[in-house]
Amino acid sequence: MTVTPHLFIPGPTNVPDAVRMAMNVPMEDMRSPEFPKFTLPVFEDLKKVFKMKDGRVFIFPSSGTGAWESAIENTLAVGDKVLMSRFGQFSLLWVDMAERMGLKVELCDEEWGTGVPLEKYADILAKDKNHEIKAVFATHNETATGVSSDIAGVRKALDAAKHPALLFVDGVSSVGSLDMRMGEWGVDCCVSGSQKGFMLPTGLGILAVSQKALDANKTQNGRMNRCFFSWEDMIKTNDLGYFPYTPATQLIRGLRASLDIIFAEGLDNVIARHHRLATGVRHAVDAWGLKLCAKEPKWHSDTVSAILVPEGFDSNAVVKTAYYRYNTSLGVGLNKVAGKVFRIGHLGALDEFMIGGVLFAVEMALKDSGINVKLGSGTGAAAEYFSKTATKSATAP
């Protein structure tokens, strides 16, 4: 029997059948007079997922990296100073991009397993009396280490210093799964992609921007060159329900279906489900006697757990064993944590049955790799927790 490998990497995530079927439609005319009736509500509904109070959302036919680039080049100028922190592969890549695009990065280099250093940010912002820092960057969920950061805390640091810098947040592995309150937290650019919480294939870079970011785009002092990712071109056509170039119509059809799924469950219920499933995974990790890469509970991510293997073991062996023996894809360790962690992605279309499945495979792969875990320990601990916290399904009598 051939079964598609069970996918538990932190994106791309499983695509629900309803989303897959919504994309299985004939090609359509993206300039038809009917097209805006489809696209304009999608733009509006996306704003609800980001909990925006103003601004707009752009949909680029790219991955999340394109949305990063778009945020930078549409608001900042070459030579602008920005405040960033690096504590995992994705925050690292964002710093790399900012430097390559000509920004002057004031960098907080943090231990991997920690997150955005709020006190350092507050200190640096308070000292920046001349407001040379034009934007503050924060990775909401560092997918490489399974670390979530406190974005409301970054807003507090900005407000305490009465600092006008823009706030840029990487929400690629958080939006649609963790709470993102752009409006309340004063986030100006929030970057996401289609292949994680939105439960779609890769191919859409989704960028939500505040009115303040749109104003910065107009008043940009010494603009950066831009073309494919230009907001001006997008705005001109998006306002009418069209795009400046050929949109990925099928992916946007899928996005419509995924938004419908999120709203049917209720966004806050989706977020609570992610928390519950992640807590189940963490119970299993404890029962195995293993540790998360995230150094403290405040950093625990509800979308991905990066699990350290004991000293002297290679996490790649666990990932390979899970893949070849148990047909299960786990995330590998990246860069500084390569060989040290394996990752379980627990975001998107998932329930406790699926979490039980991946824990079952991980438990066996750990044991097969020579790591001393008792079969049934982690799966049992998760089952205890899930059975205690189960709620009646909507269809139960």
Q: Are 200 and 251 in contact (CB under 8 A)?
A: yes
69 binds ligand PLP (CB under 6 A): no
Calpha distance 30→85 (Å, rounded): 40
Cα–Cα dist 364/377, whole Å? 11
Q: Any binding-site annotation on 86?
A: no
**Residue whose CB is less far from ligand PLP, 135 or 366:** 135
Question: Within 13 A of 27's CA, how many CA atoms are on the CB side?
Answer: 5
Among 11, 203, 247, 331, binds ligand PLP (CB under 6 A): 11
With CA atoms as reference, report the closest residue to 151 among 165, 135, 137, 162: 137
| Cβ closest to ligand PLP, residue 96 vs residue 109 | 96
Nearest residue to 95 (alpha-carbon basis) of 63, 154, 135: 135
Size of the site for ligand PLP (CB under 6 A): 12
Q: How many CA atoms lie within 13 A of 317 on its CB side?
A: 12
Query: What is the closest distance, in whole angstroms, from the C-beta atom of residue 143 to ligand PLP in the complex?
Result: 3
| Cβ closest to ligand PLP, residue 150 vs residue 368 | 150
Interatomic CA distance for residues 292 and 305, integer angstroms? 7
User: Minimal CA–CA distance to 265: which of 337, 186, 197?
Assistant: 197
Candidates 82, 124, 172, 255: give the one binding ligand PLP (CB under 6 A). Answer: 172
Q: Does 175 bind ligand PLP (CB under 6 A)?
A: no
In the region spanning residues 366 to 395, those forming contacts with ligand PLP, defined by CB under 6 A, are: none
Which CB, 172 or 364, lies closer to ligand PLP?
A: 172
Least distance from ligand PLP to the Cβ atom of residue 211, Å: 24
Taking the complex as a whole, the smallest distance from the CB of residue 315 to ligand PLP amounts, in Å, to 18
The C-alpha atoms of residue 118 and residue 87 are separated, in whole angstroms, by 13
Measured from the CB of residue 252, what is the shortest distance to ligand PLP in angstroms? 16
Task: Considering only the stretches 37-45, 62-70, 233-241, 245-253, report the one whose residues sit in contact with ligand PLP under the rule CB under 6 A.
Answer: 62-70
Q: Does 345 help bind ligand PLP (rule: CB under 6 A)?
A: no
63 is a site residue for ligand PLP (CB under 6 A): yes
Task: State the minimum distance, in angstroms, from the CB of residue 61 to ligand PLP.
Answer: 12
Does 199 bind ligand PLP (CB under 6 A)? Our answer is no
For residues 100 and 249, give the distance between their C-alpha atoms in angstroms, rounded to a whole number: 32
Examine residue 299 and tell whether it contacts ligand PLP (CB under 6 A).
no
Is 65 a binding residue for ligand PLP by CB under 6 A? The answer is yes
Q: Is residue 333 near ligand PLP by the rule CB under 6 A?
A: no
Q: Which stretch binds ligand PLP (CB under 6 A): 60-68, 177-185, 272-280, 356-364?
A: 60-68
**Which helix (H) or strand (E) covers residue 47, if one does?**
helix 35-49
Determine the Cα angle at 74 with ends 68 and 75, to 5°. Answer: 95
Binding segment for ligand PLP (CB under 6 A), chosen from 61-69, 254-262, 337-345, 370-378, is: 61-69
Treating both helix axes as pointing N-terminal to C-terminal, what angle do 377-389 and 267-288 enclose, rounded to 10 degrees? 150
Residue owning tokens 């925006």: 52
Q: How far is CA 257 from the centre of its chain?
A: 19
Query: Rounded to whole angstroms, what are the CA distances from 51 to 64, 209, 349?
Result: 19, 11, 21
The pairing of beta strand 141-142 with beta strand 147-148: antiparallel
Q: Is 143 near ligand PLP (CB under 6 A)?
A: yes
Note the residues at the interface with ligand PLP (CB under 6 A).
Answer: 11, 63-65, 90, 139, 141, 143, 170, 172-173, 193
Binding-site positions? 343
Residues comprising the binding site for substrate?
343
